[in-house]
Structures are given as structure tokens and as C-alpha cells.
Amino acid sequence: MIKKQQYLLSISVGPVQEFIASARKLRDLWYGSWLLSELSKAVAKYLADAGCDLIFPGIEDKGKLEPKSELNTANKILTRTGEMDEGEIRSLVEEARKAFDDCWKSMAQSALKIIPTKDQRNINRKLFKEQLDDFGEFFAAWTPLTDNYSDSLERCERLLAGRKALREFSAAPWNGAGIPKSSLDGIRESVLRGNKFYSCPVVSG
């Protein structure tokens, strides 16, 4: 018989340091914080809808987890799952990651639509998609919930810290040879062809 039990599940989303390092103005810092809050809410909403009890953010009204709600939350989610086995909690985490990815891509597509139709041809859509797929940090750790909540939480947080310390370094999945770097962060190649630059308003979903 497959053993089922409750788990403590801790998730951290990012990047945080990359947003801070690439910020040029206070507005950039604000937007990076808002973006991470929206991504965190998307993950928390999926977990709540899946029957988990949210510990952080500690809210009772799930409506506050809807996109563009007034709730601002940290990039950390802590929850207690229902009775499940190891395979089920792995699937739960995979679906939570999908909620993270779907939220990010939805916001990115909203930003893309701001560019006037006549200028859409100047977007390298293949590179745009590859950079979208390469974005984001999502770390998760879980441990069986015992009668000693403090010990279970300490172990879960220790496992999460260890997972975050295992940095994954890999080459960019696209060929950036001959493509100028983006003026926004200097890290990734620009998705704009030629010398086109756009001044876009802050996107809020």
C-alpha cells in the first residue's frame, strides 16, 4: 500500500537579485517587486484551489490571489497539503510550476501587445519565445508534517535553502552571436531587430 500523509511544502520564486541588479530607476525596482508578487500569487492560488492550506501568505479570501488584486505578497509560499503520497506531491509541485510559467507568459504577451501593430515586424519572435521559456526561478522543497510543527518547518526550510544553493548553470538555449545586448539589463540579447526602441507604459497584467 502506498503511504499517504500530509506535507509541508515551501516554494520560492524569482529572480530577485537579477531584478535588483538590472534596475535603472526606482520604477524598475517597483515593477520587479510587483511582477514577483503576481507570480507568487499565481502559485499560491493554484495550491489553494488544489486543496492546500496556505500558511503564507496567510489569507482566508482566495479572491485576493486573483491577478491584479490589491494584495502584495513576498516571493515565498508555505502551505500544508492534504493526504497524498510522494508521487502526488511531485505532481502538485509540477502543476504549481506550470501556474508560475503561465502567469509569466501571460504578462509577457500583454507587454508585447503594447507595441503598435506596424512595428510588430521588428520583434524577433523566435528569440522572444526562447527568452520567455528561459526565464524564472522556481525552487520547492517538502517534508512530511509531523506532530512537531516547528521541527517539520525547520527541516522544510533547510531543504529549500539547500535546493536554492544548488545553482544550475547552463548556456543560453539560443544563439546570440551578432545580436546586440538588450539595453534594459545588458544580460540577454535584444529581441528588437535593427535600432528600434520603444517607450512603453508599465504593464499591469
Spatial CB neighbours of 105, under 8 Å, sequence gap ≥ 6: 132
Q: What is the pLDDT of residue 195?
A: 54
Q: What is the pLDDT of residue 142?
A: 97
d(CA 32, CA 16): 8
How many whole angstroms from its chain centre is CA 39?
5
Q: Is the pLDDT of residue 196 over 70?
A: no
> How much is the average pLDDT of 34-40?
94
Pairing of strands 137-144, 53-56: unpaired
Tell me which CATH code domain 7-165 carries: 3.30.70.2220
More confident residue, 84 or 177: 84
> How much is the average pLDDT of 16-26?
78
d(CA 155, CA 149): 10
- Percent of the chain residues past pLDDT 90, beyond the cut: 51
The type of residue at 166 is: L
> How much is the average pLDDT of 14-33?
82
Domain ranges of the chain: 7-165
Confidence of residue 194 (pLDDT cuts 50, 70, 90): low
Measuring CA to CA, which residue among 77, 78, 89 is closest to residue 41? 77
Q: Give me the half-sphere count of Cα atoms (radius 13 Å) on the Cβ side of residue 74.
A: 10
Q: Is the pLDDT of residue 204 over 50?
A: no
Confidence of residue 1 (pLDDT cuts 50, 70, 90): low
| 3 state DSSP class of 90 | helix
Q: Is the pLDDT of residue 170 over 60?
A: yes
Q: Is the pLDDT of residue 169 over 80?
A: no
Q: pLDDT tens, 68-80?
A: 899 999 999 999 9
Three-point CA angle 44, 46, 50, nearest 5°: 115
